[in-house]
Each structure stands twice: as structure tokens, then as C-alpha cells.
Chain A
Amino acid sequence: MLFNSLTFVVFFVVVVTAYWSMRSWNARKNFLVVASYIFYGAWNPPFAALLFSTTAMDFWLGRRIAKAKGRHSRRGWLVGSVCMNLSMLGFFKYGNFLLQNFQWLLARLGIIYQPPHLDILLPVGISFYTFHSLSYTLDIYRGVLKPTKSLRDFILAVSFFPQLVAGPIVRAGDFLPQLVRPPALRAGQFLWGLLLMTLGLFEKIVLADTMLSGSADRIFGYAGPLVARDSWLGVMAFAGQIFFDFAGYSTCAIGAALCLGFHLKDNFRFPYAAIGFSDFWRRWHISLSTFLRDYLYIPLGGNQVRPVRAATNLVIVMFLGGLWHGAAWTFVVWGLLHGSYLVVERVIRVLFENRARTNNLATRLLGGFATYAAVCIAWVFFRASDFTIAARMLGGMFGGHPHGDAILTTREMLQIALVTAGMILVHWSLRDSNIETAVMRLPRWIVTAVWAFMACAIILTQGNSNAFIYFQF
């Protein structure tokens, strides 16, 4: 079920009430497992069985890894876990993509092959819960986590409903310790959780869906050439939309978890105030970027190898990060672009190391602006469903269609400009801080008014909203 649905509102009220009225910690955990599976099964009940089977397999494999004596044996069990998780992901998410590319490759060799179209339904959130589960066996292999003795606890760690379908990617090592003792609600924690849920829903329903998504859809869906202004505004609208959509979901998840006494880490930290791309990836989808860093980039050698190898590793990691988002070459190009951005940034850092002028305000602002612009260019490939659309958009953005069409209404242009300017202003003003600090610094009447405004705006949208973009991943 969606956070922005009436079903979830009722579900959440029932779950929170029942959860806090139970005295036994074990009963609460059992109840959360059932609630999480109901939450997941509300999309497609049979896929709950798939979720359970992969979780149970990883639980068993985790114990095997821990018990294995030799290095080869440990590695063997880990390979088993990785293969099981990635093959499931591969089948459901990349099955048709792989077949299509295989067909294309054979056609290049002059072999005509018509593969059957697999009518595969993608289990919602499979990319996320696969990574939740995989982090468990990987951490046991790395020796930073001991296997849990409780299958129930592990099931809850993987399926905990706030983070189950669209992140953040909560590692078992971060969640399992929270299941040892019953959480105690600190003063204000429950209401702070509710405020975060309101903020998350406001970001998703009001800012992403109401203010930006329509313009982004119109621009990316327009079949003709567009002038530069409309093209850029369309991409900026999407840049804002995807941030508010995904950060909104993460904020809701964090708030819902807080209401139940659990603590999830931030998944976004004002990414559009990033100066440089490594900074961007420390702020955008932090749970994925740290996952890729710890389980892929560092095992590949990280920074401890020669510069060319390190650069190659970066590109490989971002290539796979792109592919994780979707089974399409446009996502791969998006990942490769970010990989190449990171490599170029490293080169620039080496060239301008120890230059005092690189640290002044103007340079930082210029760096921030350049980062935002480059990220927007990469978003074109993320949003465009094929390369024809991406090429048309880029053509428009770089003045290739001076006589193209100007289709956005003045209202849409104002909406994009105001929301984007507000977003960037907030990101820059909070880039070295956090939302909690900001709330404490604000006068109480402003916090009250903003919270009430957000709640009223959500009610005004009447739930007339789309699914979260990241559900498809």
C-alpha cells in the first residue's frame, strides 16, 4: 500500500495503536512481522511468499557463512547468497531486458532469433529488499556482524514495512541491534515522527506531484522540438520532482519508524547544495551510495589502487548503480555519466589541490551551480524512456532548436521556478545542518503554522497522487 493512500492511514493508526498497547516485546515484534507482510501483500499477496523465501534463505546462508571454517568455504556460502539474490533480481527485473539485448546481439551476427516475451510482473520493492537481505550475509562475511539466532528478528529486519518497498536501504546490521530490547519513546519522538511523515507526504503529494510532475511529463512527453527555456525548465521540474518524490518517501519511512520507536538514518541531506559529485553522492540516496561503496567499491580496491584503476572502479560502480535503477540502457548512461563526473572531479581536485582561491564563496557557489547543472543533464537520461527523447531534450537544452515550440504555460514556468528556487535555497541554508536543528531554531509559531499548512495542503490534494517513482525500481 502507498503511504499516500487512505488504506495506509487506517493501517498505520491500527498498527501504532495495537503495537504500543502490547506489553510483551516479542508480541510486538511478531505483530510487526504480520503487519509488514500485510503491508507488502496488499500489492500482490503471492509475492509475500517470495519475500519470505529469500529472507529465510539468507538467514540460513548467514549461519552457514558464520559456521564455515575455511576461507573458501565462507566465500562459497557468500557466493551462494549473492547468486540467489542477484539471480532473483535478474529474473524479475532484467529478464526481458537481457533477452532483448541477446536478440539484438544475435541480429548483429546475422542470426534471427525471436525470444518469447516473458510476461513477468516485477515484485514491488524487489531492488530494495534484496539489498536489505544481502547486506546481512555480506556483513557476516566481512566479520562486522554476527548472525542473529532469531529468524523472526531477521524477517522483521528485512520486511519492516516503513522501509520495505522504497528504502532507505536499511542494513541488517543497523536494524537488528534495535530489536534486542524494546524501544523507549523519548519525549516528543512520536509527534516528531508524525511531523516527519507530514513533511514527507507534503514533499511527495504537493511538491512533486502537484507542482512539478505535470510540467515534467508534458516536456518529456512532447514529440516535437522545444526551445532551450522549456527544455531546461522541464528537466529542472524533473530534478525537483524526483528529489521530493524519493526524499518524501524516505522522510515518511523515517517518521513512521520513529513512531514505532525505531531509528532509521537519513537517506538525503540537501543534495542540491552539493559542491562536486562525490559530495552529491554523500547527500543523495545515501543508503544506496554507501551500500555500493562498502560492498562494491572498497572490495574492488577503493582508493588504495592506482589512479586509473580507481577511476575504472568508480565507473564500474556507477554503471551498476545505474543498472540497479532500471532495466534500460538510459539508466546505464545515467550511471556512466555520474561515474565520469566523479572521475573528472578527481582530476580537477588533483589539479587544483592547495589553491586558496578554490575555497572562496564565489568558487563554492560556482561549483554548486555546475554540480546542479551537470546532475540535471544526467537526469535527462534517467527520465527519458529512450535515447530519441533524450537526444531531443539535450538538443533543446543546448540551443539546438531555436525555433522549437514553447509549450509551458506561464503558471507552470512560475511553479517550476518558485519550487526550484525554494528547494535550492533550503538546501544551501541547511547544507551543513539538519532539519532537527532548523526546527529548534525556528520560533514555535512558525513550526506550528508550517505543519498546519502542510497538513491542509495534503488534504486539499485529496489523495489525487501518483505512485512513488522509486517503486518501479
Chain B
Amino acid sequence: MPSSTSNFKRKLRLPRLFFSTPPEIERVHGGPPLEYERPIPEVPSRGIATVVVLMVIAATCAWEFYCRSIGYGPTLNDGEDLWTSARRRVKPDSIVVIGDSRGWFDLDLDELQKGLGKRPVQLAMGGGCAYPVLADLANDENFHGTIICSVVPRLFVAPPGTPPMERAEKAVRRSHTQTPAQRVSQYLAMPLEEHVAFLKQQELTLDDLVKRLPIPNRPYALVSPRIPPYFGTLDRERRARMIEGCAQPGKLQTTIQQIWLPLFTPPPPPTYIPKEEFAKRMGQAIEQRFHDVAAAVQKLRSRGGKIVFVRLPHSGGLKALEDRETPRAAVWDRVIKDTAAPGIYYEDFPELAGFNCPEWSHLSAGDSVEFSKRLIPHLRAALQM
């Protein structure tokens, strides 16, 4: 190490241009090369880099083992790029599943393929609103296929600017603007995500870990409701399956049940808008959604496309909450009436109504296969197949 600053500066070859203007000849192309050189610290960089690499490998492996030990397993992340790769598979006459996470977990693509003759493309997304995807397909002049649309009322009528809408809009936007670099990143990321358990973009990121620090909040702070922890896996076709740890009674199951309740409870109106005004605006936004959905369905049908709305099973306290906050008549009946499209409400059919959702919102992987099998005749009838 240098003993004095002056000696040290000389060794470092500090950037000359910062301190004095170089002679003109040095600024002319063809003059001495490297008129400016960055200082390079004289440290044993090889030794340091070797230790850093070893430390990073050790820390990463330790974190991976820890995540696996507490129940995490490898799965693909449901990002916009994975959604875009599925959207790209949509052909003009495809069968497409859209909507929310129930359409994602509860419908088995193998069974639907057996029953409907084509393998559906899975475009439903966790916590997403169906409308932006419906509108995108309706506006796609090439598409004249069939849409199976899962309806969770609160997500289906989510107004613009809310997370369910933004999530779906972001995915649709990405499908139109995805760059070659983003596409390559997705292909590179998939093999990693399929083998590394800690790669969970919404749960085990640094951001989420920091958010979960137990720091008491001051009153009135706007705290986003917690998102459920890892309870399902996703494959390259975006087929979601509930993990066994969640399908069986236990801590994970009850934790998720308790997370759904605040997540499905309407947030209080903002303080800066009078309650009546806020309720009026929400009412207008919902009316607009019904109108937009009807227009999109009409557009799709004008090209020979078909759509069927499905209400998929939910149970326990979440069902009670949904039935209270978004009763069937308020959203489901209105959608069916305005679009004049066929609808399948699981409670209307005994063979569909008997399923229990372990964490109140989705079917287990096994039940989703059986449920899809039983749903096929209803889908065929609704779609006049």
C-alpha cells in the first residue's frame, strides 16, 4: 500500500483530462492513443475475485438449500414474457383460456384437449383481469377461435389503474412490444427457473424479503395486502398445479386462506374523494366494463369466434365473502345477459359443485383433472360442439 497520498496519486495515474486540458495534438485522431486512462487500483484483484466467487457460490447454494428446506420448489415465474410466449402460440382457430388464477389452476389442458379436440392455450393469469386479454383477442383480426373465460367478479370488473387491470394490460402490451432481447432472456431464464427453487420473482426477491421485515407501521399508512406464498407450480404451457403441501391441511393452507380474505375485501375509499363520489365513479367504471365486454364479445362473434364464461369453484370463508361482496346477480348474471353468451356457473350443476378448494380459491392438481373432465360436456353444449 502506498504510504502517502501524493505517491499514491502518481501510481494511480489519475485522469489527466479532469485537471488540465491536454495539448491539441493529443486531441487529434492519430495522435498518441490512450490520451485518457482510467486509474486502476493496485490491489491483488485475482485473489479478491477468487474469494468473491467462492463466497457468492457458497451463499447462493446455502440460500437454495434453505429455500428448499422450507418447502419451495423450482417453477417457472409467471412474467409477461412467459405469457407472451403463450400468446404467440394462439392460432386463428385456437381454444384459449383467459381470466384469473382459477382458470389457471382448475382447468387441465390434457383433459380439455381430449374433450374438445384441440389443446387450449393458457392465457389466464394469477390476479389478472380478463378484459384486456379479451379485448386483445377481439381486436386480433386473425383470431376467430374459442375463448373460455373464467370470471372472478372482483377481478373481472376491476377498474382501470388497479393491479388486476395493470397486470393484464402489461402482459398484453409486452406481447405487442416484446424485443428480441426480452425473448432471448425468457428462453435463457426458463431452464434456470425449472431447476432453482429460490428464483421466485414475487416472493423470494430482495424486494419482497425487505417488505416482510417485521416493522410496525404508523397509522394510516397505505399497506398493500400480502400476496399468497408459493403454493403452485407452472410449466412452459403455463399450466398451474397446486403443490401437495398446500393441498393437504396444514400451516400453508391456513396461511393462504387468511391471505385471501383481505385481498378480496374492497379497500376503503381514498380520503381525498367524498365517499358518494367514489361510489359513483366505481359504479360508472363497472358499467363501462360491462359495456366494453359486450362490445368485445360482439366483435369476436362477428368473425365467427365463440366465447363461454365459466365460474369456477371456491369454498369456505372466501366463498362467503365473494357471495356477499359480489353477489351472482350483480356481476355474473349481468355479464351473461349483456353479452348473450353461454355461461357455466359451477353451482348450477351437482357434478361440478361438489369440489372443495383446499385453500378456498383453487382446486388441487388432482381435483382439477377430474373437474375438467366433468366440465367438458357442459363446454361442448355451451359451444355447440
Which residues of A are at the interface with B, using a C-beta cutoff of 8 A? 1-2, 5-8, 10, 41-45, 139, 144-148, 172-174, 176-181, 183, 186-189, 191-192, 194-195, 206, 209-211, 214, 218, 223-225, 254, 258, 263-266, 405-411, 414-415, 434, 436-437, 439-440, 444, 447-448, 451-452, 455-457, 459-464
Q: Which residues of B contact A176 (CB under 8 A)?
A: 29
Is B201's CB under 8 angstroms from A188's CB?
no
Give the most central of A145, A177, A415: most B CB within 10 Å.
A177
A338 to B40 CA separation, bound complex (whole angstroms): 34
Whether the Cβ atoms of B29 and A177 lie closer than 8 Å is yes
Q: Roughly how many angstroms separate A160 CA and B27 CA in the complex, as a whole number?
A: 19
Residues of B within 8 A of A451 (CB): 48-49, 52
Contacting residues, chain B, for A460 (C-beta < 8 A): 63, 204-206, 209
Q: How far is B214's CA from A414's CA once the two chains are assembled, in angstroms? A: 13
| Residues of chain A with a CB closer than 8 A to B185's CB | 1, 5-7, 463
Interface centre among A8, A258, A405, A436 (most CB of B within 10 A): A436
Contacts A195-B45, A266-B18, A407-B221 supplied; 17 other A-B pairs, CB < 8 Å: A5-B185, A6-B185, A145-B27, A147-B29, A173-B27, A174-B36, A188-B41, A188-B46, A194-B49, A214-B207, A266-B15, A405-B222, A409-B222, A448-B48, A455-B52, A460-B204, A462-B200
**Contact in complex: A407, B215 (CB < 8 Å):** no
Binds A, one of B54-62, B114-122, B227-235, B376-384: B54-62
Instruction: Specify which of B43, B199, B205 is in contact with A439 (CB 8 Å cutoff).
Output: B43
Q: Which residues of A contact B55 (CB under 8 A)?
A: 448, 452, 456
Minimum CB distance partner of A1 in chain B: B181
Q: Cβ of A183 and Cβ of B34 under 8 Å apart?
A: yes
Q: How far is the CB of B83 from chain A (nearest CB, A)?
A: 16
- In Å, the complex CA distance between A138 and B199 comes to 49
Closest B residue by C-beta to A404: B272
The distance in angstroms between the C-alpha atoms of A183 and B271, with both chains bound, is: 62
Q: B2 near A440 (CB under 8 angstroms)?
A: yes
Chain B residues closer than 8 Å to A187, beta-carbon distance = 40, 42, 45
Q: Is the CB of A191 within 8 A of B27?
A: no
Contacts of A194 in B (CB 8 A): 49
Note all chain A residues with C-beta closer than 8 A to B182: 5, 7
A436 engages B180 (CB within 8 Å):
no
Whether A452 and B59, one on each chain, are in contact in the complex, defined by CB atoms closer than 8 angstroms, is yes
Rounded to whole angstroms, the CA-CA distance of A146 and B31 in the bound complex is 10
Cβ-defined contact, A263 with B36, below 8 A: yes
Interface size class of B (residues with CB under 8 A): 35 or more
Given known A-B contacts A440-B41, A451-B48, A462-B201, A2 and B181 have beta carbons under 8 A apart? yes
Nearest chain-A residue to B9 (Cβ)? Answer: A437
Q: Are B221 and A189 in contact (CB under 8 A)?
A: no
The minimal Cβ–Cβ distance linking B51 to chain A, given in whole angstroms, is 5
User: Is there contact, CB below 8 Å, between A258 and B206?
Assistant: no
Do A436 and B213 contact each other (CB < 8 Å), given the known contacts A258-B38, A410-B218? no
Are B223 and A409 in contact, CB atoms less than 8 angstroms apart? yes
What are 16 contact pairs spanning A and B, CB under 8 A?
A8-B181, A10-B184, A44-B179, A144-B28, A173-B27, A177-B33, A177-B34, A188-B40, A191-B48, A211-B210, A263-B34, A409-B218, A437-B12, A440-B2, A461-B207, A462-B200
Residues of A within 8 A of B60 (CB): 456, 459
User: A146 touching B41 by the CB < 8 A rule?
Assistant: no
* Alpha-carbon distance between A34 and B17 when the two chains are bound, in angstroms: 30
Closest to A174 in B: B36
Q: Closest Cβ of chain B: how far from A414's Cβ, in Å?
A: 7
Question: How many Å from the CB of A185 to the closest CB on chain B?
Answer: 10
Interface centre among A42, A195, A444, A460 (most CB of B within 10 A): A460
Contact yes or no, A409 B48, CB < 8 A: no
Partner of A452, one of B12, B56, B273: B56
With a CB–CB cut-off of 8 A, which chain A residues contact B215?
A: 409-411, 414
| CB within 8 Å for A440 and B29 given contacts A411-B213, A452-B59 | no
CB-CB < 8 A to A172: which residues of B?
Answer: 29
Among candidates A44, A145, A146, A191, residue contacting B45 with C-beta atoms closer than 8 Å: A191
Give complex CA distance A8, B184 in Å: 10
Selected contact of A411 from candidates B24, B206, B211, CB within 8 Å? B211
Q: Are the C-beta atoms of B56 and A415 separated by less than 8 Å?
A: no
Hey, which chain A residues are within 8 Å of B28, CB to CB?
A: 144-146, 173
CB-CB under 8 A from A264, the residues of chain B are 38
Q: Which residues of A contact B210 (CB under 8 A)?
A: 210-211, 411, 415
- B222 (CB) vs chain A CBs: closest residue: A407
Q: Is B333 an interface residue (CB 8 A)?
A: no
B44 and chain A: residue at smallest CB distance: A444
CA distance A363 to B74 in the complex (A): 57
Cβ distance A160 to chain B, nearest Cβ, rounded Å: 15
Given contacts A225-B272, A411-B213, A464-B205, contact A145 B29 (CB under 8 A): yes
B222 proximity list for chain A (CB < 8 A):
218, 405, 407, 409
Tell me the nearest residue of chain A to B79, going by C-beta.
A464
Q: Mark B4-18, 1 if CB is under 8 A from A, else 0.
A: 000011001011011
For A461, list chain B residues within 8 Å (CB).
205-207
CB neighbours (8 Å) of A5 from chain B are 181-182, 185
Known contacts A44-B179, A145-B29, A178-B34; is-contact A434 B220 (Cβ 8 Å): no
The answer to whether B304 has its CB under 8 Å from any CB of chain A is: no
**Is B217 engaged at the interface, CB distance under 8 Å to the other chain?**
yes
Closest approach, in angstroms, between the C-beta of A437 and any C-beta of chain B? 7
Nearest residue, chain B, Cβ from A154: B29
Instruction: Say whether A191 contacts B188, CB under 8 Å.
Output: no
Chain A residue at minimal CB-CB distance from B46: A191
Contacting residues, chain B, for A414 (C-beta < 8 A): 215
CA distance A187 to B13 in the complex (A): 14
B residues near A1, Cβ cutoff 8 Å: 179, 181, 184-185
Q: Which residues of B contact A415 (CB under 8 A)?
A: 210
The answer to whether A146 touches B29, judged by C-beta atoms less than 8 angstroms apart, is yes
Tell me the smallest distance from the CB of A252 to a CB of chain B, in Å. Answer: 14
Q: Once the chains bind, are A224 and B59 in contact (CB under 8 Å)? A: no
Q: A405: which B residues are within 8 A, CB to CB?
A: 220, 222, 271-272
Q: How far is A172 from B36 in the complex, measured between Cα atoms in Å? A: 13
Chain A residues near B188 (CB-CB < 8 A): 6-7, 10
Say whether, besides A177-B31, A448-B48, A440 and B56 are in contact (CB < 8 Å).
Answer: no
CB-contact partner of B52 in A186, A407, A440, A448, under 8 A: A448
Partner of A192, one of B45, B184, B273: B45
In the complex with contacts A191-B46, A263-B34, A263-B38, A43-B179 CB distance below 8 A: yes
Partner of A191, one of B26, B49, B205: B49
Interface centre among B17, B31, B48, B180 (most CB of A within 10 A): B48
Query: Are B216 and A410 in contact (CB-based, < 8 A)?
Result: yes
Complexed CA–CA distance, A402 and B63 (Å)? 46
Chain B minimum-CB-distance residue to A210 = B207
Report the bound CA distance from A407 to B220 in whole Å: 7
Q: A42-B184, A210-B206 are in contact. Are A188 and B34 (CB under 8 A)?
A: no
Is there a chain A Cβ closer than 8 Å to B244's Cβ?
no
Q: Which single residue of chain A is at the shortest CB-CB distance from B179?
A: A43
A302 to B: closest C-beta gap in Å: 15
Give Cα A415 to B218, complex, Å: 15
A188 x B42 contact (CB < 8 A): yes
Q: Are A265 and B40 in contact (CB under 8 A)?
A: no
Q: Report chain A residues within 8 Å CB of B192.
A: 6
Contact across chains for B51 and A448 when beta carbons are under 8 A apart: yes
Q: A146-B28, A188-B40 are in contact. Are A444 and B34 (CB under 8 A)?
A: no
**Which residue from B40, B43, B270 sits with its C-beta under 8 Å from A224?**
B270
User: Which 4 pairs from chain A and chain B are nearest by CB?
Assistant: A224-B272, A1-B181, A42-B181, A191-B45
